[in-house]
Amino acid sequence: MSLKDQITEDMKTAMRAKDSERLGTIRLLLSACKQKEVDERIVLDDVAVIAIVDKLIKQRKDSITAFTQAARMDLADKEAAELKVLEAYLPARLSAEEVAAEVKAIVAELGASGPGDMGKVMGAVKARLAGKADMGQVSAAVKAALAG
């Protein structure tokens, strides 16, 4: 079963359980997937769905930070609940050590050295680690690998 099919099944389950918060988040995710399919006239595979989930998670984290700074804990809590639902659709994340090891291997493969090669390395790393690691953490690991 593809990830998109799993999300659709989860939506049906949430409808039956009358879990309106979870249902709203799942519908938002399916809507984002459908929008991407219509805009680009493609059928999304699991990697593309994971990229959309990643994007939505990043938006939730940014919103939580903004709402917390504005002392709007009611909205921050709502975003945190959505974040928890979305994270269930991500594959298991790599640890910081695994990310660093993977980045070092890619840097060695490309023969990259110095901050000037950051773009080239990030392109290769994104292709290999998409959905498996937080890209902020990956970017820091690439900077460290190229600096050292």
Name the residue ranges covered by the structural domains of the chain: 3-87, 96-147
**Same fold for the domain at 3-87 and the one at 96-147?**
no
In angstroms, what CA-CA distances link 39 with 32, 51, 107? 10, 16, 35
Per-residue pLDDT of the chain (148 residues; tens, 9 = 90+): 889 999 999 999 999 999 999 999 999 999 999 999 999 999 999 888 988 998 999 999 999 999 999 999 999 999 999 999 999 998 888 888 888 888 888 888 877 777 777 788 888 888 787 777 877 788 888 888 877 6
Q: DSSP secondary-structure letter at 108?
A: H
> Which class would CATH give 3-87?
mainly alpha
Q: Output the pTM of the full model.
A: 0.77
Q: Residue 88: what are its φ and ψ, rounded to 5°?
A: -65, -20
Helix (H) or strand (E) holding 114: none
**CATH number attached to the domain at 96-147:** 1.10.10.410
